[in-house]
Amino acid sequence: MSAAPLSSAEIAAIRAQFPILDREVNGHPLTYLDSAATAQKPRRVLDAERAFYERENAAVHRGAHTLAAEATELYEDARRTIAAFLAVDENEVVFTGNATEGINLVATAIGIASSGRGAGADFPTYALQPGDEILTTELEHHANLIPWQELAARTGATLRHIPVTDDGMLDLDAVPSLITERTRVVAVTAVSNVTGFVTPLERLVPLARAVGALVVLDACQAAPHLALHPRELDVDVAVFSGHKLYGPTAIGVLYGRAAVLDALPPHLFGGSAITTVTLEKAHFLPAPQRFEPGTPRIAEAIGLAEAVRFVTEIGMDRIAATEHVLAERLHAALAAIPGIRVLGGSAVPAGQRVALASVVVEGVHAHDAGQVLDDQGIAVRVGHHCAQPLHRRLGATASLRLSAGVHTTADELDRAIAAVAGIRAYFGLDSEAGDVGKDT
């Protein structure tokens, strides 16, 4: 039985937990539709961070005093909380600075292994050689593209890409010919940050598994909206940022299958990640500590754990059900506006997109369109959303993106849709659709 969407009363109670939603912007109530860039924070997350600094602030994993023990327990409890959220073991959860750092951790570690020198000499499992292949897609955020470009350049591996169709969906027919015995890494997004489409991983991961490729999942746009269980998805690595999941900035999570983490060398070097050090050589702790050198982001991890408790109490299944309703409402309404082109096709299976849409306004640059909405207190994202190749493939240089959060109401969506419908009239342009999509 599928979960029921949140009721209006439940959403109102959720909204009341976000202090920032009480404010006005440019004389209008704030309508925040930029959650895909960063989510707002419920009061309990702010309180959790502040309480740590006021009551338990100390370095973790060191010191014999009470504060140090309490801080360590809070930090490791945060790891356990996030492991439970992902349905994985706590030693498979690595705290990072953000998702970008998490992907770079894996790519850099593979590069070090490929060098065969230093720490890399002890971790040869995932070393790349010239002729090996790394596979990404045209959908990717730059954070899941550029690290692999750099790794390919440093190792002599070949970087290949799964193309997208004119509708902005993965061309799954091309996948069998792109995943070969030479494929060593497959890096893919779970949800596009431009179209909101959910990647059909069930069609992709088995092919990667068949050739023994390492599967790396960018889960940034999935974690706040859908239940994220990496083991069920059968991926080796999954990363997401805390700030998109109603948590603090400067904290991210990397899930790594235990056997994978055990086979990767450290990517940064220093204290807290070692067992013994001589003047000639260091010996490293097992995961996850091997990947968390120095003083970690303690307060941020505690805040993120509170954010995870927040969404868990609401229920990820109910969040997903609510977003499905909002997504269909958003896409249908935007697609019906003359002079507006929604990036990505409309023939998407039910439940296969989150409440996110990017649009091009005929004759109006995205930044100008965004300013019109901001004047009405509506916060959206404009630009290429760190996805230039996908925008280029879809014939746009920039777009205006609306993205909902757990606190978004249908009335807010309707208000934003009406504002988008008025953009061309604001600039004195005809309302009739023309050659939509060519920015001026």
CATH number for the domain formed by residue range(s) 48-312:
3.40.640.10
What gap in Å lies between CA 207 and CA 367, rounded to an integer?
41
Which among 310, 290, 295, 311 has a CA at the least distance from the CA of 91? 290
313 burial via Cβ count (<10 Å: 0-12, 13-18, 19+): exposed
Domain with CATH 3.90.1150.10 in the chain: 8-32+315-426
Return the bridge partners of 197, or none: 353
- Let me know if 354 is exposed, middle or buried by CB neighbors in 10 A (0-12, 13-18, 19+): buried
Give me the catalytic one of 227, 325, 386, 436: 386
**What tens digit of pLDDT does each residue of 272-319 get?**
999 999 999 999 999 999 999 999 999 999 999 999 999 999 999 999
**What is the rounded distance in angstroms from the CA atom of residue 101 to the CA atom of residue 108?**
10
Residue 62: the pLDDT is: 84
Residue 237 and residue 215 in contact, taking contact as beta carbons nearer than 8 Å: yes
Residues of the chain with CATH 3.40.640.10: 48-312
Query: Is 386 a known active-site residue?
Result: yes
- Three-state helix/strand/coil letters over 332-378: HHHHCCCCEEECCCCCCCCCCECCEEEEEECCECHHHHHHHHHCCCE
Residue 6 DSSP SS3: coil
Torsion sign over Cα 235, 241, 245, 251: positive
Place of tokens 């490293």: 284
Query: Residue 435's CB: how many other CB atoms inside 10 A?
Result: 8
pLDDT of residue 435: 42
What is the structure's pLDDT at 439? 41
Structural class in CATH, domain 8-32+315-426: alpha beta
The parts of the chain modelled with pLDDT lower than 50 are 431-440
pLDDT at 306: 99
The residue assigned the tokens 């092919």 is 207
Within the chain, how many helices (H) and strands (E) appear? 15, 17
Residue listed under structure tokens 């807010």: 412
- Residue whose C-alpha is closest to residue 200's, from 187, 191, 211: 191
